[in-house]
């Protein structure tokens, strides 16, 4: 089975928890670091198609709060893609691709179900 691909920022606390869970449960993964590689447009579009832009974009983080109010108030799918490509820190982390499934965020229970 091919390893999953996990997208995010290496020093993010939630990412560290996801890495620890994957390592502890012996699940191979490839890591895509937004800080070094930027966002992947195709994966971002797929995530938005599966979950909606308002779920893929982390609206609780400091990157969202730093956006001008008029940008936040008028966000659409198209502007969300542009904003996330310009600033991948806006994307909810981790974003995990397993086959055709894209999972957002991390909880041990969710990962346990995902890797059954």
* CA–CA distance, 72 with 91 (Å, rounded to integer): 14
Which of 4, 6, 12, 80 is catalytic? The answer is 12
Cα angle: 73, vertex 79, 85; to 5 degrees = 125
12 catalytically annotated: yes
Non-local CB neighbours of 26 within 8 Å, separated by 6+ positions: none
What angle do helix axes 77-86 and 41-51 make, rounded to 10 degrees? Answer: 140
Q: Enter the tokens of residue 55.
A: 């779920």
What are the catalytic residues? 12
């Amino acid at each position: 089975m091919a390893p999953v691909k996990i997208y995010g920022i290496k020093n993010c606390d939630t990412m560290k928890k996801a890495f620890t869970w994957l390592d502890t449960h012996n699940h191979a993964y490839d890591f895509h670091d937004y800080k070094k590689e930027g966002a992947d447009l195709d994966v971002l579009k797929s995530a938005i198609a599966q979950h909606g832009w308002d779920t893929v974009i982390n609206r609780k983080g400091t990157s969202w709060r730093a956006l001008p109010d008029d940008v936040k108030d008028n966000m659409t799918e198209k502007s969300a893609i542009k904003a996330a490509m310009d600033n991948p820190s806006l994307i909810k982390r981790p974003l995990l691709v397993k086959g055709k499934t894209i999972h957002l965020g991390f909880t041990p229970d969710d990962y346990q179900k995902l890797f059954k």
